[in-house]
Amino acid sequence: MKKTEYKGIHAGTGSFRIEFMYRGERCRETIRAIPTKSRLQEAARKKDIIQYEIDMGQFDYARHFPESANAYKFSNNKASYITIEKASDDWFRRHSKNWAASTYRGYWSKVKTHILPNFGNITAFDFKPSAFNDWAAKTTISPKTLNEVRSILSLIFKELVYDEIIDKNPMDRCRVAPRRAKEPEPFNPQEREAILSALPQGPARDFYTFAFWTGLRTGEQLGLRWQDVDFDKGRIYIRHTIVNGKKAIPKTMSSVRTHQLHPDAMAVLRAIYGYHPSQDPDARVFLDPRSMQPWTDDGYPRERYWHPAVKQAGVKYRCLYTCRHTYASTMLTAKEDPSWIAKQMGHKDWGMIRKVYARWID
């Protein structure tokens, strides 16, 4: 663009530009229009108004150039330019690389399903605690999920507080949904044996026998490799988990652990080693009976084998995670040390054992 006869106004073929100094910086704002004489005169008058407002301390960048990036940069109320959707995107971009895959999946599910549809278009300036409390009063989701949504929103707003975009976190004034802890309902020995008997012999039965006698999380069991098995010392090393078909590191330090095997679990591993097509150290232990290839995620064994076996056994249905509860209650009933059980299951300390399985502690 070339200078015109009007100071601070430059013109091109299909646009013209207004230039001025504001807060020690040179600002350039382009107008997409043919620079006719009347338009250049109008731009010159606008620049005079801008200069007057700057000198009088009354200049509002957004009022003159609402679509400009400088409107946000120079605004004294940046919260009015940031929507909850934009804030959540920024939060994910900054922190997600440090999350475990399961954590990312959990956060993104809540954001996509609950936060964006209900609050995404609200700006951080306009968001009030009542917006969340009103939604919480009418939603039908569980108290657990509701509190998780509240927690994620709080983390998103905390980022804005750190950046000095807002002064206070509005979620601090949003009520936590009361929760009544649901006591686990593990399988008793008769139910456990009925389910295992209903499973076909081989990889499927071995998979669930191992689950009952180790209490491993399903992803941890799917990720077990031969190099993680110490037959001589009767233990396994939990180093990986499978999340959405991908290998990942367990999300907590306590989940990375050494697990001492129960004799029934050890017998399962010895049986698998005998028919497994590969003893390569990096080969995964548990295989899909149909393809004799590693299972990609927990959906396949659950749908193909767990559901039908529980139904055939005539046992009240409980989810696959109940194998973990069954292991914990079985060990406690056998008078094992709760602190040892906590380490076996990958808990930080035995507080979770005390809280969840108090009925089985002598």
AA identity, residue 295: W
Q: What's the average model confidence in pLDDT over 320-339? A: 94
Q: State the pLDDT confidence band at 179, using cuts at 50, 70 and 90.
A: confident
Looking at per-residue pLDDT, the higher value among 251 and 18 belongs to 18
Check if the beta carbon of residue 192 is closer than 8 Å to that of residue 119.
no
Res 181: pLDDT: 67
289-312 pLDDT, tens per residue?
A: 999 999 888 888 899 999 999 999
Helix spans in the chain (H) = 37-56, 61-64, 69-73, 84-95, 101-110, 116-119, 129-138, 143-162, 189-198, 203-214, 218-222, 263-275, 299-301, 307-313, 322-333, 338-345, 351-356
221-235 pLDDT, tens per residue?
A: 999 999 999 999 999
Residue 343 CB coordination number (10 Å): 17
Question: Highest mean pLDDT: which of 62-76, 93-107, 323-337?
Answer: 323-337
Q: What's the average model confidence in pLDDT over 67-73? A: 85
pTM check: above 0.85? no
Instruction: List the structure tokens of 241.
Output: 């988990």
Domains in the chain (CATH in brackets) are 2-76 (no CATH), 81-173 (1.10.150.130), 189-360 (1.10.443.10)
Residue 349 CB coordination number (10 Å): 12
How far is the first Cα of the chain from the last one, in angstroms, to the nearest whole number?
Answer: 85
Looking at per-residue pLDDT, the higher value among 251 and 260 belongs to 260
Q: CA 42 to CA 317: how far, in whole Å?
A: 76
* % the chain with pLDDT above 70: 99
Res 353: pLDDT: 87
